Structure 1
Amino acid sequence: MKTVQSTLLLLLFMPLTEPAPPAQQDSGITHEYGTDNLEETIFSQDYEDKYLDGKNIKENMIIPDEKSLQVQKDEAVTLLPPKKENDEMPTCLLCVCLSGSVYCEEVDIDAVPPLPKESAYLYARFNKIKKLTAKDFADMPNLRRLDFTGNLIEDIEDGTFSKLSLLEELSLAENQLLKLPVLPPKLTLFNAKYNKIKSRGIKANTFKKLNNLSFLYLDHNSLESVPPNLPESLRIIHLQFNNITSITDDTFCKANDTRYIRDRIEEIRLEGNPIILGKHPNSFICLKRLPIGSYF
């Protein structure tokens, strides 16, 4: 009887003596999931708070009707600054405008673009411009330098440069010119090399009154003679590679004044012309340096 009771007692207490499952591992997992759930709960609350706040704000907002929106739109339109003349022109989008200089080089324009009134320098080299007119530079009193090198210019109206009283440098090199226009009075440099200009395309007084002209480039044209009435101010004269066949004692000097000396001329180039300079020795007696060219 005692044995049976002992066995029953042993069986009753056996589960108490078995090792417990690893509670530490389970608690760890429970802790991790608990952290995730906590973060989700915080995020949900934060989102809900923001959402509710946003909802409350939205509910409290006064949504204007179409009429009030139209009034605001009209007021905005009236507050816009007035349009300037040059706002419509694309020149400074197509070209580069910088401190009074406009650079329109190699942009395939076929006419002079509208320029800002404060422009002093225009570089429009290597384009497709065929003609220059007085309208191109109307109301442009500040222009000091124009460069149209490498275009297709065939014609220039006589009044094109007449109002440009401050213009000092003008380049028309590498075009298709047959004649020269009236030039502005204050030019210091004029470049028309590599054109098709003939002597009859230059009027007798074209250069006479240009008392500031120092550099004259007319090489690689079709001139049959040296242009007349060249101003005393000239320092450099390039006439090489034309069709000049003769010169006279009055071309550079003064035939009736043997004391006359032309001080300022530093260089005259006449090579590449069908002229023997050695046959005209009296034509250079007023010069400090002989012209460059063939003497035999």
Structure 2
Amino acid sequence: MMSLLCRRTIQTIFILVLLTELQVLCQDYETNYDDYDVEEESQPEVPFLVESYECARECICPYSYPFAMYCDHQKLKAIPDVPSHIHHLYLQYNEIEAITSKPFTNATSLRDINLSHNKLQSSRVEREAFTTLRHLIHLHLEHNNLEEVPPSLPKTLQRLHLGFNKISKIPADTIQKLTSITVLDLCNNRLTDAGIKGKALSGMKHLMQINMCNNRLKSMPSDLPESLLQLSVENNSISSIPEGYFKKTPKILSLRAARNKLKAVPYNAFNLSRLMDLNLGHNQLSKTFFIPKTLEHLYLNHNDYKELKVSLMCPSVDQDNPNKLTYLRIDNNKLRGPVDFHAYTCFPRMRMIFYGEQKKLEEYEPSAKE
């Protein structure tokens, strides 16, 4: 009896050990480096099924991360051939100028490509370069010399990073097909109002975040999809927000429009049911607008406010459904007295009002003698 019990115990331990080992081998690994972005896969493969364990000679394919190939910081001039089992390809910080389809001939399992910090030129990106990559989800092309959005990007793309390039327009025929995109980064380019005219972005039905900071926009981007949650247009030359602008994007959670030329916004511009974060710092605002109940963080620093009319910001008080504003920044305005104490009644969750230093009126307004 004891012998049988021992045998069963040993078998149970063996099975548990085996399952543990398989779990370790089957998981899709994630590195600790900041430059690498490896996501967990829903149906990972087992490393020992990779027959030849290939790797480009210029790169590193660690045994501990069998589906990744690291070719970064190698002064590469061209993309090496990518083995068929590779899912994550890292080519950042090289001297690559061109992208052709040849290196990706067998790399049909690629999910992530990082080609940031290279010397890519639009004229040297082959039109069919990405067409075979039918599982590609993330593509990093920031910090290059691209003047256009690369053509024929796969419809599977969910995150596209194009910041720090020379892109001046977004052709509708190039971008509208990318219906799976959730994050689109276009910061630090040369985008103009004419460059994003029409319905270039409206077809991106899953877009949640779009970044257009540090461009040449003079007006708010038009025809944004209803799915949008975060809009970033900091450091442009935007002078106004049209009445009813956010009717097409009612789900928006965060708007960052600091460092523009806004002089006024419609009173009900931000009467949105989900808005949580609003940054309008470094503009020329002086008129109070309505604050939605959901807003938690409001930045009005470096504007031209002489007073904050709390009764306009918060026209009614509902103790059962109080305003959620917890942080207000109003430094570097033209305020000459403390904030109305009624603010704490209207905003009972307020934790901090950063008043800071204010502008000197004589520096901004002509004297009576003039």
For normalisation by structure 2, the TM-score amounts to 0.50
Matches within 5 A, 1:13-162: 91=56, 93-98=57-62, 99-155=66-122, 156-162=125-131
Q: Is 1:284 matched up with 2:246?
A: yes
Q: How many residues align?
A: 197
CA positional deviation for 1:247: 4.1
> 1:116-141: CA deviations, max 9, x gaps?
22111100010000111122312321
Determine the C-alpha separation between the residues in 2 that align with 1:118 and 1:195. Answer: 31
Question: Using a 3 Å threshold, how does the CA distance of structure 1 residues 86 and 132 change in structure 2: closer, same or farther?
Answer: farther
Determine the C-alpha separation between the residues in 1 that align with 2:244 and 2:166. Answer: 30
Determine the C-alpha separation between the residues in 1 that align with 2:150 and 2:127. Answer: 5
2:166 aligns to what? Answer: 196
> 1:127-167: CA deviations, max 9, x gaps?
00011112231232111110001001113112111121110
Matches within 5 A, 1:220-239: 220-225=188-193, 227=196, 228-230=200-202, 231-239=204-212
Determine the C-alpha separation between the residues in 2 that align with 1:159 and 1:167. Answer: 14
2:367 aligns to what? Answer: none
Contact kept in structure 2, 1:188 and 1:214, CA below 8 Å: yes
SS at the partner of 1:190? strand
2:33 aligns to what? Answer: none
Q: Is 1:251 matched up with 2:220?
A: no
2:141 aligns to what? Answer: 172
Task: Please identify the structure whose Cα radius of gyration is greater.
Answer: 1
SS at the partner of 1:97? coil
Contact kept in structure 1, 2:81 and 2:102, CA below 8 Å: no
- In structure 1, runs of 5+ residues without a counterpart are 1-83, 254-261
Q: Which amino acid aligns with 2:171?
A: K
Determine the C-alpha separation between the residues in 2 that align with 1:170 and 1:136. Answer: 16
SS at the partner of 1:133? coil
Contact kept in structure 2, 1:238 and 1:270, CA below 8 Å: yes
Contact kept in structure 1, 2:58 and 2:80, CA below 8 Å: no
Q: Which amino acid aligns with 1:291?
A: L
CA positional deviation for 1:239: 0.4
CA positional deviation for 1:175: 0.4
Q: Which amino acid aligns with 2:68?
A: S
Deviation larger for 103-112 or 203-212: 203-212
- Among all aligned residue pairs of Structure 1 and Structure 2, give the percentage whose two residues are the same amino acid: 25
Contact kept in structure 2, 1:267 and 1:291, CA below 8 Å: yes
Determine the C-alpha separation between the residues in 2 that align with 1:207 and 1:281. Answer: 27
Higher percent of residues as helix: 1
CA positional deviation for 1:85: 9.6
Question: Using a 3 Å threshold, how does the CA distance of structure 1 residues 281 and 291 change in structure 2: closer, same or farther?
Answer: farther
Contact kept in structure 2, 1:244 and 1:274, CA below 8 Å: yes
Contact kept in structure 2, 1:252 and 1:283, CA below 8 Å: no
CA positional deviation for 1:86: 9.1
Contact kept in structure 2, 1:191 and 1:217, CA below 8 Å: yes
Matches within 5 A, 1:211-226: 211-225=179-193
Q: Higher relative CO (CA 8 A, sep ≥ 6), structure 1 or 2?
A: 1
CA positional deviation for 1:205: 2.1
Determine the C-alpha separation between the residues in 2 that align with 1:286 and 1:203. Answer: 21
Q: Which amino acid aligns with 1:143?
A: L
Q: Which amino acid aligns with 1:103?
A: Y
Contact kept in structure 2, 1:252 and 1:284, CA below 8 Å: no
Contact kept in structure 2, 1:136 and 1:160, CA below 8 Å: no
For normalisation by structure 1, the TM-score amounts to 0.62
